[in-house]
Amino acid sequence: ADAAKRLEALAQSVKKGPQFKARILAQAGQAWLLANDVIRAEAVATTALHLMPKAPELLIDRARARAEQGDYAGAKADLDIALMGAPGHPDALAFRAAASRFLDETAAARADTDAALVRDPSHPEALLERGILKRLTGDKDGARADWIKLLEVAPGTGAADAARANLEKMDVKK
């Protein structure tokens, strides 16, 4: 949070132009996400987008903040725009897949995870999401394979933590 505040103050004082300010604000937004202040992260990303409209990375950041608040439709709308500017962007595809799943658009979610994994076969969030989608359709072996691959390629990530939790939940006998 302290870093985010400092970055925001720096962005206000900088005289280098809108793109430079937007990049500093993007860093501030990331810091707010890490500090779990998703409302502030969304506000900072929105401000940055006023300086650099339709910038894919800024749209992805704001979509993440919106999704953390449960605004999956807003997140998906931002990711749709991001993908127009950066077709095939694996992060945008993986995050849009998650938003689509929460909106009960499972076919679209699966198409996005598959497209992300064509671009980057080891993309952690795409592997996590595809595993979730497989588990939801009863393909436990496929889900397990995706999550184990995720644990192998990105063991120290938040996606890996979620994969571990999903594996434990799936394996618990009731």
Contacts of 1 (CB under 8 A, 6+ apart): 31, 32, 35, 37
| Residue 120, number of CB atoms within 10 A of its CB | 17
- Asked if 159 contacts 168 with a C-beta cutoff of 8 angstroms, the reply is no
- pLDDT tier at 10, thresholds 50, 70, 90: confident
- Asked if 28 contacts 59 with a C-beta cutoff of 8 angstroms, the reply is no
Mean pLDDT value of segment 52-79: 96
- Asked if 35 contacts 50 with a C-beta cutoff of 8 angstroms, the reply is no
Q: Residue 134 and residue 152: Cα distance in Å, rounded?
A: 19
pLDDT, tens digit, 9 for 90 and up, residues 90-146: 999 999 999 999 999 999 999 999 999 999 999 999 999 999 999 999 999 999 999
For residue 9, the one-letter residue type is A
> Regarding predicted confidence, which is higher, 60 or 7?
60
- pLDDT tier at 17, thresholds 50, 70, 90: confident
pLDDT score of 173 more than 80? no
From the CA atom positions of the chain, what is the Rg in Å? 17
What pLDDT sits at residue 34? 86
pLDDT, tens digit, 9 for 90 and up, residues 81-90: 999 999 999 9
Mean pLDDT value of segment 11-24: 84
pLDDT, tens digit, 9 for 90 and up, residues 24-45: 899 999 899 889 899 999 999 9
Q: Is the pTM of this model over 0.75?
A: yes
- Asked if 97 contacts 112 with a C-beta cutoff of 8 angstroms, the reply is yes
Mean pLDDT value of segment 160-167: 96
Question: What are the CA-CA distances from residue 148 to residues 132, 142, 143 (Å)?
Answer: 13, 10, 9
- pLDDT tier at 5, thresholds 50, 70, 90: confident
